[in-house]
Amino acid sequence: MNDEQQSLLLNSSSRFSPPQGVKLSYGTAGFRADASLLPSTVYRVGILAALRSLKTGSIIGLMITASHNKVSDNGVKIADPNGGMLSQHWEPFADALANAPSPQHLLVLINEFVAKEGILMDGVSHAEVLLGRDTRPSGDALLEAARQGVTSIVGAVATDMGVLTTPQLHWMVRARNKGVQASEQDYFEQLSSSFRCLEDLIPAEKSKLDGVNNKVVVDGSNGVGGVKLKVLRSLLNALVVEVRNSSEDGGVLNDGVGADYVQKEKVVPHGFDSKDAGIRCASLDGDADRLVYFIVPPESSGRIDLVDGDKILSLFAIFIREQLSFLNENEGIKNSHQARLGVVQTAYANGASTNYLKQLGLEVNFTPTGVKYLHEKAAEFDIGIYFEANGHGTVLFSESFVGWLEARTKEISSGSKGSEGEKAALRLLAVSKLINQAVGDALSGLLLVEVILQHMGWSIHRWNELYHDLPSRQLKVKVADRNAVITANAETVVVSPPGLQEAINAETGKYHQGRCFVRPSGTEDVVRVYAEASTQEAADTLSNSVAKLVDQFLGLGSS
């Protein structure tokens, strides 16, 4: 690092003093905290993003958002060259940067890391970081802090992409690094044209849903997703989309609205009531990377029937499996590529969903909790589908399989599209373009759900009846050191402290359809307990019993 670069870093970082007595950690969601605590951290993540761009020779993304957190919070996270999350290898460096006590310490950290990683800071190499923010009032000031961080690295450019959903920024980064046009309008056009393609390929015998069934009412969480969905719906034809709780409607972000609220509380969001009975309803979270559906019963008293991420996964899996079977059976297309389809869940997936997917003959895999683990595993398949119950997930297509589909569909003349195999190839290629393969995206997910329901001729009630969730309960046990609990087998088995897993097994065995696991939280000093059983009373009792076991074995707190 030359003198000019050192001087620039020292001068710019002196304007951003880290908050005293606060230690921040970069997790799955990046850094999140009360917005007033974040200017220094966001500035330093801007530096990290520029260094990451220099290291990879690619465009990097930086998003200012706190997703489903309250409006006074904010956060920052990085989108890597493929549009995914920051490489886990760089997370310790992110933590060290955020918590460096002074500009001098910061400079030492950067010098050491740059030397270790072999990052060339010669003032000649160029870096580019795309910046995005959601609708939070604190977003503008934090975006400026990020810009100053990026431009404190000589040769780095910060490009402000404006107010976006988080998935839009991830999509843009992925597209730019693949040499594809990546404006917001390009995003809207790719999603809408792929949706229309799938509509055109709906079987003739499946009459399109009409009237009230052709309508979906969407809760925008008083965030950015509602605004963007209004733009997107103008490019659609048959689908009627009514947006409520959009950011310009005057409501408070994530307050009594949004996918996180609906999924956890299982009640209608603000702006919904019994008049919406029988209509498909959906809810986005604050930055539109989560999606859940719900049904308002005629006499609901505020309660809902939740159609969560597990059922979205099941719907996608049924449709994609059907298309693959058409490809395999079709003689008109030489199927030289036997595509491997895989489904990925965490232990938090309801056991009924896992049993259902296995009964379909699908390959079901489990990973530890966290999108980074799910995404990595899904990428091992020709088509990998992952979703968490909270509504975050996507479908990944391998480049080789997309290439195979593109080659096969080029052989199909525009007038043919006759055989089911030909149509299946076109459908799968359209799905690969409609779904956001960089990250979970509520807008692209919503369109894919809607067109599959049309394709199947299903109402939301028919979809919801695929299986019935087992009753479950989640608790947390306060501990002094969550790292005292060590797990294996995708966090479903405790290996330390010794004897705890055996005690959990003994307790779980007392309940019909009982299942229970414990895992240390990734964000706070608690151990989380998840339990399922055939009745809600049994699930509650099992979770309480296991919470007491955790407390007894650790001897460090109470539930």
Q: Nearest to residue 47, comparing CAs of 62, 36, 34, 63? A: 62
Distance CA 532, CA 348 (A): 10
User: Which residues contribute to the annotated binding site?
Assistant: 67, 285, 287, 289, 388-390, 519-523, 528
On whether both 417 and 527 belong to a single domain, the answer is no
- For residue 400, the 8-state DSSP code is H
On whether both 183 and 218 belong to a single domain, the answer is yes
On whether both 436 and 476 belong to a single domain, the answer is no
Q: Choose one of 163, 195, 226: the last residue of a domain.
A: 163
| Pairing mode of beta strands 215-223, 240-246 | parallel
Residue in this structure with the two tokens 């393969």, named with its chain if needed: 437
Residue 349, pLDDT score: 96
CATH number for position 541: 3.30.310.50
Q: Which residues lie closer than 8 Å to 154 by C-beta, 6 or more apart?
A: 4, 5, 8, 121, 123
Distance CA 198, CA 192 (A): 10
Angle (deg, nearest 10), helices 309-329 and 351-359: 10
Task: Identify whether 174 is part of a domain.
Answer: no
On whether both 208 and 152 belong to a single domain, the answer is no
Contact in structure between 118 and 148 (CB atoms under 8 Å): no
Contact in structure between 110 and 47 (CB atoms under 8 Å): yes
User: Which residues contribute to the annotated binding site for Mg(2+)?
Assistant: 67, 285, 287, 289
Residue 211, pLDDT score: 44
On whether both 229 and 150 belong to a single domain, the answer is no
User: Which residues contribute to the annotated binding site for substrate?
Assistant: 388-390, 519-523, 528
On whether both 151 and 218 belong to a single domain, the answer is no
Structural domain boundaries, residue 479: 472-554
CATH number for position 59: 3.40.120.10
pLDDT tens for residues 255-282? 999 999 999 899 999 999 999 998 999 9
Q: Choose one of 100, 135, 163: the last residue of a domain.
A: 163
Distance CA 47, CA 501 (A): 44
On whether both 279 and 408 belong to a single domain, the answer is yes
Task: Identify whether 382 is part of a domain.
Answer: no
The two structure tokens encoding residue 350: 């309801």
Domains in the chain, number = 3
The helix (run of H) or strand (run of E) holding residue 246 is strand 240-246
Contact in structure between 24 and 31 (CB atoms under 8 Å): yes
Q: Choose one of 419, 449, 469: the last residue of a domain.
A: 469
Catalytic residue among 12, 40, 53, 67: 67
On whether both 153 and 244 belong to a single domain, the answer is no
Q: Which residues lie closer than 8 Å to 145 by C-beta, 6 or more apart?
A: 16, 38, 39, 40, 42, 43, 46
Q: Each residue's pLDDT tens digit in the chain (559 positions)?
A: 888 999 999 999 999 999 988 999 897 789 999 999 999 999 999 999 999 999 999 999 999 999 999 999 999 999 999 999 999 899 999 999 999 999 999 999 999 999 999 998 887 789 999 999 999 999 999 999 999 999 999 999 999 999 999 999 999 999 999 999 899 999 999 999 999 999 999 987 765 544 447 899 999 999 999 999 999 999 998 899 999 999 888 899 999 999 999 998 999 999 999 999 989 999 999 999 999 999 998 886 789 999 999 999 999 999 999 999 999 886 444 555 689 999 999 999 999 999 999 999 999 999 999 888 999 999 999 999 999 999 999 999 999 999 999 998 887 754 456 788 899 999 999 999 999 999 999 999 999 999 999 999 999 999 999 999 999 999 999 988 888 999 999 999 999 999 999 999 999 999 999 999 999 987 677 899 999 999 999 999 999 999 999 999 986 543 3
Distance CA 204, CA 102 (A): 67
Q: Is 7 a catalytic residue?
A: no
On whether both 155 and 194 belong to a single domain, the answer is no
The helix (run of H) or strand (run of E) holding residue 61 is strand 60-64
Residue 210, pLDDT score: 45
On whether both 185 and 292 belong to a single domain, the answer is yes
